[in-house]
A = this chain, B = another copy of it.
Amino acid sequence: MDDGTVYDICVVGGGPAGLSAAVNAHVRRKKVIVFGGRTGRPKVNLSPKVDNYLGFPGISGNELYEKFNRHVEEFKIPVVHQKIQNIGPLDGTFTLLSRDGSLYRGKCVILATGVTAHNLLAGEEKLVGRGVSYCATCDGPLYQNKTVTVIDYTGEGAEETNFLAEFCRKVYYLGMAGPAVEFIKDNVEVILNDRPVEISGDDTVTALKTRNRTLETDGIFIYRETYPPGEIIPGLEVEEGYIKVNRRMETGMPGVYAAGDCTGKPHQVAKSVGEGQTAALNAVAYLDSLELSGPSKP
């Protein structure tokens, strides 16, 4: 799906940084869209009491996040409850691919993807793109008639498993997110009450070691709340595990900004909200500086 709309600013992530970026872009009359939002369960939502968002002592994280979402709703900013899997430059704009296979286009991107609560697995970083993937929609077709493993920390891996089972020979489903799930096809082996430990392989993935066993596998699809920074846009500069930005929240790529937890510590609401604002206002200045010709809709 690509309805041809070109957004001024695509905000990837619906936590405090992303929503702040969206609100600020909207106030400056830019066409903005947010990917993430309520379903993303950002960490603020889990705090029983937030005492350091200036002006609102003692508010619960849940109440504060509700206010953040209502702010965005009041401004009628579109929020798509889909995770963006991949972002690529195309004809002077960026193309964003969501997990359900939809395409979106924007002139600027603000990454507010948060931090993952789970550490990378041993061997994971080395084998990204060589058997390790975060997107069955993108990379699944490479594993026709092969064996793959889905590591699912969020529950969203279940749907991906059904998709993979259609053309893979076998799919191991390692469910870390809680209740058992059922799958359509019987080439899925469900593994619960276990943990992934290490991904092995020299050139490409050959096996996943779990606490209890070793699975021979050609590919591994991992579903976490957030992606490792840098995975979402190839070539993005990462420093000590965070997306590298300057004081203007610019990444090294023109038109790509980042804000919030994915840019570094402290992982706090006010810091994220402030960075979202700074990213948005600098993106607005960047857009204003572009002398784009041609209509934004075909």
Inter-chain contact B27/A55, CB cutoff 8 Å: no
- Is A123 in contact with chain B by the CB < 8 A criterion? no
> A281 contacts which chain B residues (CB < 8 A)?
265-266, 268
- Is A205 in contact with chain B by the CB < 8 A criterion? no
Candidate in A54, A67, A265 with the most chain B CB atoms within 10 angstroms? A54
> A245 contacts which chain B residues (CB < 8 A)?
247
Q: Which of B71, B265, B268 contacts A54 (CB 8 A)?
A: B71
- Is A113 in contact with chain B by the CB < 8 A criterion? no
Q: Which of B16, B53, B57, B277 contacts A75 (CB 8 A)?
A: B57
> A56 contacts which chain B residues (CB < 8 A)?
55, 67, 71
Count class of interface residues, chain A:
35 or more
- Is A291 in contact with chain B by the CB < 8 A criterion? no
How far apart sit A271 and B55, CA to CA, in the bound complex (Å)? 14
> A263 contacts which chain B residues (CB < 8 A)?
247
Give chain A interface residues in 204-245, CB to chain B under 8 Å. 245
> A274 contacts which chain B residues (CB < 8 A)?
270-275, 277-278
